Amino acid sequence: METIPAKNIVIKTKKPAAWFGTDYNMNIYRGCTHGCIYCDSRSDCYRNKSFDTIKVKEDALRVIRDDLRRKVKLGVVGTGAMSDPYNPLEQTLQLTGKALELINAFGFGVAIDTKSALVTRDISVLQDIKERSPVIVKMTITTAGDALCNKLEPHVSSSSERFAALKTLSDGGIYCGVLMMPILPFINDTEENIRGILNQAKASGAKFVFPAFGMTLREGNREYYYDKLDELFPGMKEKYIRRYGNRYQCTSPKAKKLWEFFKNECECLGLLHDMQSITRQYKMKYTYQQLTLF
| DSSP line for 64-91 | HHHHHHH-SS--EEEE-SSS-TTSTTHH
Interval 155-175 mean pLDDT: 98
Specify whether the CB–CB gap between 54 and 35 falls below 8 A: no
| Residue ranges of domains in the chain, CATH in brackets | 2-293 (3.20.20.70)
**Does residue 82 have a pLDDT over 90?**
no
- Please tell me the distance from the alpha carbon of residue 174 to that of residue 112, in angstroms, as a whole number: 11
pLDDT attached to residue 81: 85
Nearest to residue 2, comparing CAs of 65, 83, 80?
83
pLDDT attached to residue 18: 83
Question: In this structure, what are the phi and psi dihedrals at residue 281, rounded to the nearest 5 degrees?
Answer: -70, -45
- Please tell me the distance from the alpha carbon of residue 122 to that of residue 289, in angstroms, as a whole number: 25
**Does residue 199 have a pLDDT over 50?**
yes
**Does residue 129 have a pLDDT over 90?**
yes
Nearest to residue 194, comparing CAs of 243, 136, 252?
252
pLDDT attached to residue 288: 54
Mean pLDDT of the chain: 95
Maximum CA extent, the chain: 62
**Does residue 59 have a pLDDT over 90?**
yes
DSSP assignment letter at 110: E
pLDDT attached to residue 48: 86
Residues 6+ apart with CB under 8 A from 10: 24, 25, 26, 64, 67, 68, 71, 77
pLDDT attached to residue 291: 41
CB atoms inside a 10 Å sphere around CB 5: 8
pLDDT band for position 80 (cuts 50, 70, 90): very high
**Does residue 293 have a pLDDT over 60?**
no
Question: Per-residue b/e over 75-94, b at no fewer than 16 CB within 10 Å?
Answer: bbbbbbbbbbbbbbbbeebe
- Please tell me the distance from the alpha carbon of residue 47 to that of residue 42, in angstroms, as a whole number: 9
Specify whether the CB–CB gap between 36 and 227 falls below 8 A: no
Percent of the chain with pLDDT over 70: 98
